[in-house]
Amino acid sequence: MATTAHASAHGLLRHAVTRGIPAALVAGWLGVAVRELDRPGRLPAARVVDAWARLRAELADAAVAARAARGWTLADFGLFGFYVASAPTLGDALTAAARGSRLITERGAWRIVEGDDAIRCVWTWDGPRMLDHALSNEVMVSAFARGIREMTGASPRGVHFMHRAPPVRADHEALLECQVRFAQSETAVVVSRARLGDVPRGANARLHRFLDGHVTGELDALGPAAVHDRAAQVLARRLRDEAPLPDLAEVARNVGMSERTLRRRLSAEGISFRALRRAAQLERAADLLACTDASLGEIAVACGFAGASAFGRAWRRSRNEPPSRSRPARR
């Protein structure tokens, strides 16, 4: 079961209270006593997502995630926050955030995608799109964007969301203080490459190295990543190496279990191998669309699709637009 740290849920509680929602009500949504959230611990991620959805409905605020993030600081996130804030450069901080994100939540992961003049910090939901994944994505991306501003005094270049824009979208740009695009092919924070060398206000190389060991210990204590995450890494690695996509048997060998056990574990985590494979293909296609001039046919072959038509159908089902339209929008 994917979990989320108490520190993240406490941010939800604190924002709710500042807007007049009783703490006891929010704690009831989370299924935990208010005092427990001040202590180290973790909650089921699905419960936290549901609490965010309840808060949005209670406040009738489509931009509740971005509004809440304005009141957060990296220090609110404990070890993870201090680890990121002490990084020697902004580039190091982004890498640290991607590495340590499981300390905050196991429901997704960050990855850094290089571009010519910018990098994209891409947030990917792990597993099935349960509950309100769009709102959950807004929580993660808003916190990430505000962290960049806290460290450097300047917002990222932009923020991209895969979900559709709310009826009033101006609030998001005003709150995040950067360009916000909806209905994009990925959920990401975009940072100019020229800023990667910026020195964060709390930069401390010795402290960062010291905290790195503690982060490693905490990640080890969480145990291995979910099976579907490990399987997804195998698929992604093969696609990056431009090798043929492995079948279930090969992936099972790579994660150290039998085909039957892998299929059963994936089912328990709410996702099929077929869906996992298709997600890996589309993720790699998104990278190639953004960072190369390869034709749609070449991208289809590189990502293991039967051809450009099959690639186009899969992309439209996932992104609600043809891949040819995604490329200029992403650039």
Find how far residue 107's CA is from the centre of its chain.
8
Position of tokens 């959920």? 187
What six digits make up the tokens of 217? 């210990």
What is residue 231's predicted lDDT score, i.e. its pLDDT?
A: 87
CA distance 25 to 5: 19
pLDDT band (50, 70, 90) for residue 329: very low
Question: Greater confidence, 225 or 173?
Answer: 173
pLDDT band (50, 70, 90) for residue 330: very low
DSSP letters along 1-37, please? Answer: --EEEHHHHHHHHHHHHHTT--HHHHHHHHTS-GGGG
CA distance 112 to 122: 6
The Cα-based distances of 182 to 32, 151, 194, 201 in angstroms read: 34, 25, 25, 31
CA distance 50 to 195: 36
Q: Are strands 187-192 and 118-125 parallel, antiparallel or unpaired?
A: antiparallel
Q: Would the pTM of this model clear 0.85, i.e. be above it?
A: no
Within the chain, which residue ranges are assigned CATH 1.10.10.60? Answer: 227-330
The H or E element spanning position 183 is none
* Mean predicted lDDT score pLDDT of the chain: 89
Q: What is the pLDDT of residues 227-278, one digit of tens each?
A: 887 888 888 888 888 888 889 999 998 888 889 999 998 888 788 999 889 9
Nearest to 311 by CA among 281, 274, 277: 281
H-type alpha helices, the chain:
6-18, 23-30, 45-59, 64-69, 78-85, 90-100, 133-152, 170-176, 205-222, 227-240, 248-254, 259-268, 273-291, 296-302, 308-319, 323-330
Q: Does domain 227-330 have CATH number 1.10.10.60?
A: yes
pLDDT for 326 beyond 90: no
pLDDT band (50, 70, 90) for residue 130: very low
How confident is the model over 150-161, as a mean pLDDT?
Answer: 96
